Amino acid sequence: MTDLAERDQLSYIAAQAADARLNVELETEGMTLNIGPQHPATHGTLRIIVRLDGEQVVWAEPSCGYMHRGYEKLTEVRTFPQVTTLINRIDWLGSFANEVPFILAAEKLMGIEAPPRAQHIRTILFELSRIANVSLFLGDLGVQLGAVTPVFMAFRDREYVLNLIEAATGGRFHPNFDRIGGLKDDLPVGWIAETKQVMRKLRTFCDEMDDLLFGNEIFQARLRGIGVIPAEVAKQYGLTGANLRASGVDYDLRRDQRLPLAYDKVDWKVWTHPDGDSFARCWIRLQETREATKIVDQLLDSLPSGPVMAKVPRIIKVPEGEAWVSTENPLGEMGYYVVSKGDLGPFRVKIRSASFSNISVVPWVLRGVYVPDIIAILASLYFILGDIDR
Amino acid sequence: MVPLSDTTTDTPALPGDGLRDGIVQRMRDAIGADLLDSLVKPGDDVWLRVSTSAWRAAGLALRDRLGCRHFGFLSAIDWMPSPYGRGEDDPTQPAPERDDTIRQGYAGGETRLQVFARVVNLDEHWGVTVKADVPDDHPVVDSWIPVYAGANWHERECHEMFGIEFAGHPDLRHMYLPTDFEGHPMRKDFPLLARMIKPWPGIADVEPLPGGDDEEAPAEGASS
């Protein structure tokens, strides 16, 4: 693990503070700029209020709540199997990944485990969600920085992945496929060969993005050294996923915890980057997409036979207890703190979504940056509005 | 041009049970009698309950002495059973009798509301759930912002949803709800109106299943 040198952190913080102080001392008249609620850079309806001094941001505050749907309250009047329908819609670009930690938490409370084949298929679909989610990010990143071509490529290639998810689960965006004790169904005939072919296409897509975006001089100029988040700050604000690893923290829940998923059966790499800037965050996501295609390929080769559903009672009652399960979702750590009172439905579910914590660093990181960098930083932090508001 | 990664691919050994007992012991050394209760599930997880007055001290101890530098989340639980059940009552009938005893969860408790937070030690790969009671008559606990800057938004959300004050929080504005919204939606006595105004349609097709409730479910799609 490489932390940024402490000296660098301090000088960065001091520079930001000095900028803010200068604006106060000179008493220059600032202006307030509203970004959103509708803005292409916000993946939904997020409003960001920034106070500017000239071209520099002195204060920024995201205003959430335009998409708050009250899922934590709603889970209290649903049965356990019904909850997956709701939580599918939290991060709508990687829906299947949302279901997994909740189902695992319920299984943990019930003391059951899905059969190996179900665990493998869960992991495969989990990684396919990641690919679908992050490939759109890579394309969208281009649009937000002024390059139009990548987004068309992203939509083209994401479609292949969505077709796979649809073929296996029946739903393109909201599969609702995970069940307590296993999966609704087995994989369809011919799916494995098809998936391998698509994974090859996606690797080509990653190479294209690498050439078109990450090798592009303008792209690098817009992102390198912009929006640096030191490791300590990232940890304090609870950043997770690629945003944390881009600050040099070597932590990935797929590797660093023991869950009944198949990640320990494949050979893959957790990428980190020492810089902590916007470029690092985007670059980590590109590498993660590549790793995800490798994970899927290996799991398809080692898919065990057997049932996809464990023996569970017809009516699911979860014993009294509390469980916390989190997984490494496309956007970061997504976890559910499930409290059961032995009833048909949960007593309380705390949904810890990745984007909520990831975006809470925005007031800190935007202070002192220039207006064009706001969009670059927001794009690189990558959030889904449903994942912030829940 | 391609930046170098400094990761290793070998998985570090996951902490065993001795480590979790050690966590409880180290917390007891750090905050003494303010650690009121604890629960260790071997090889799985650990819960701590600290006194309300030591909420911030517990955070600092976790951060500085136990190395939990990563802030997971902060939220609250209302342990009162909902007076409305699961919202499946027929509104035209008198409300059924319900058990309204408050039973707290792991690591115990004495009050209806509890705050709880999750912090993680990223180097040793373990996390801990820490709880504290919130006094019923005066729901105030210390803010965790001096401990973890990221607690800011979590406390704002907790404030509007549960009505818990965080002493020392600079800006407890509403996060999701309109500014003039009254009530605290996540409290159990706040009715979910959509469920109150008409009977829940899902209740209509509940009928006794053949073979009783505990029979194993047939594989879905097997009958079709």
pLDDT reported for residue B119: 92
Checking if the pLDDT of B2 tops 50, the result is no
Checking if the pLDDT of B86 tops 80, the result is no
The confidence band for B9, taking pLDDT boundaries of 50, 70 and 90, is very low
pLDDT reported for residue B7: 45
B1 CB within 8 Å of a chain A CB: yes
Q: What share of chain B in percent tops pLDDT 70?
A: 78
pLDDT reported for residue A130: 92
Q: Which domain holds residue A347?
A: 79-355
In a domain, A65, yes or no: no
pLDDT reported for residue A351: 92
**Nearest CA among A264, A80, A120 for reference residue B9:** A264
Rounded Cα distance between A5 and A9, Å, is 7
In a domain, A206, yes or no: yes
A68-103 tens-digit pLDDT: 888 888 888 888 888 888 888 888 888 888 999 999
Give the A window 65-94 contacts with B, CB below 8 Å.
65, 68, 70, 72-74, 76-78
Q: What share of chain B in percent tops pLDDT 90?
A: 10
Taking CA atoms, A240 is separated from A9, A63, A384, B140, in Å, by 19, 21, 14, 29
The confidence band for A162, taking pLDDT boundaries of 50, 70 and 90, is very high
B217 CB within 8 Å of a chain A CB: yes
pLDDT reported for residue B19: 79
In a domain, A236, yes or no: yes
pLDDT reported for residue A25: 60
pLDDT reported for residue A93: 85
pLDDT reported for residue B5: 44
Give residues with Cβ within 8 angstroms of A26, minimum separation 6.
none
Residue A170, burial from CB neighbour count under 10 angstroms (0-12, 13-18, 19+): middle
Domain map (residue ranges) of chain B:
17-83+102-194
> What rounded mean pLDDT belongs to chain A?
86
Interface touch A70/B185, C-beta < 8 Å: yes
Mean pLDDT of B140-169: 90
pLDDT reported for residue A173: 86
A contacts of B12 (beta carbons < 8 Å): 256
In a domain, A160, yes or no: yes
**Domain count of the fold of chain A:** 1
Tell me the CATH architecture of domain B17-83+102-194.
Answer: 2-Layer Sandwich (3.30)
pLDDT reported for residue A204: 92
Tell which of A13, A256, A258, A270 to mutate to test the B interface (max B CBs under 10 Å).
A256
pLDDT reported for residue B6: 44
The confidence band for B44, taking pLDDT boundaries of 50, 70 and 90, is confident
**Strands (DSSP E) along chain B, which ranges?**
35-41, 45-50, 70-78, 113-121, 126-134, 140-142, 165-167
In a domain, A95, yes or no: yes
Phi, psi (degrees; rounded to nearest 5) at A61: -150, 115
Interface touch A258/B1, C-beta < 8 Å: no
Edge-to-edge strand ranges of the sheet holding A56-63: A31-35, A47-53, A56-63
Mean pLDDT of B148-173: 89
Q: What share of chain A in percent tops pLDDT 70?
A: 93
Mean pLDDT of B93-99: 76
A232-270 tens-digit pLDDT: 899 989 899 899 999 988 888 888 888 888 888 888 888
A96-133 tens-digit pLDDT: 889 999 999 999 998 888 899 999 999 999 999 999 99
Residue in chain A nearest B210 by alpha carbon? A314
Helix (H) or strand (E) segment spanning residue A324: strand A321-329
Give residues with Cβ within 8 angstroms of A157, minimum separation 6.
A135, A201, A202, A205
Cis preceding-peptide flag for B218 (omega within 30 of 0): no
Mean pLDDT of A56-78: 85
Q: Out of A123-132, A137-146, B54-63, which region has the weakest mean confidence (pLDDT)? A: A137-146
A contacts of B13 (beta carbons < 8 Å): none
In a domain, A37, yes or no: no
Phi, psi (degrees; rounded to nearest 5) at B45: -160, 170
pLDDT reported for residue B1: 39
**Nearest CA among B222, B72, B214 for reference residue A110:** B214
pLDDT reported for residue B223: 42
**d(CA A235, nearest CA chain B) in Å:** 4
B170-224 tens-digit pLDDT: 888 888 888 888 888 888 888 887 777 766 666 555 556 565 555 555 555 444 3
Rounded Cα distance between A321 and B55, Å, is 23
pLDDT reported for residue A337: 93
In a domain, A222, yes or no: yes
pLDDT reported for residue B118: 92
- DSSP 8-state assignment for residue B216: B
DSSP A327-377: EEETTEEEEEEEEE-SSSS-SEEEEE-HHHHHHTTHHHHHTT-BHHHHHHH
Residue A259 tokens, joined: 């869950």
State the CATH number of the domain containing residue A127: 1.10.645.10
